[in-house]
Amino acid sequence: MTDTPLSYLPPPAAGIAALADAVHFNADGLVACIAQQHDTGEVLMMAWMNRQAVEETLATGRVCYFSRSRQGLWRKGETSGQVQRLVELRLDCDGDTLLALVDQLGVACHTGRRNCFFRAIRGEELAVIAEPLMDPAALYGEAHKGHSHG
């Protein structure tokens, strides 16, 4: 098995640079990136990218983020095996948010859930509306404690 889908063809270097140049990174050099399952439309998660993460993601087809807590690149699935394969990376109209259309292998959330959006108002309470599909300790060991996508 390869780290990129058979259908993903990296754009030429000039295309990668054109997209990265169009991004309006914030004062910390970051841009929000929403990951969405390409074939179902399910919103999986939100994380941050810096320019290097954007460029690596486009060049390799494996989604890479920037971890604010670790102050470094975070290749989705490098610890858990729950890889995101890039189908397409899109930039919004303001240039300040990316949408990564991905093929998510396994769960996307560090809590063991399919996606990170598992809490919603039910009556007067904030309720958990999706249970974990996998044990986070099985995915990350003790490393998952205190983890966030930032």
Which pLDDT band holds residue 3 (cuts at 50, 70, 90)? very low
Do residues 91 and 19 lie in contact, with contact meaning Cβ atoms separated by under 8 Å?
A: yes
Residue 101 pLDDT exceeds 90: yes
- Check residue 149 and give its pLDDT: 53
CATH number corresponding to 13-140:
3.10.20.810
% of the chain beyond a pLDDT of 70: 89
- Check residue 1 and give its pLDDT: 38
- Check residue 142 and give its pLDDT: 58
Compute the mean pLDDT over every residue in the chain, rounded to the nearest whole number.
90
% of the chain beyond a pLDDT of 90: 77
Residue 139 pLDDT exceeds 90: no
How is the chain split among helix, strand and coil, in percent rounded to 5?
20, 30, 50
Residue 19 burial (C-beta neighbours within 10 Å; 0-12, 13-18, 19+) = middle
Residue 30 pLDDT exceeds 60: yes
Mean pLDDT for 119-128 is: 97
Q: Which residue has the higher pLDDT, 5 or 99?
A: 99
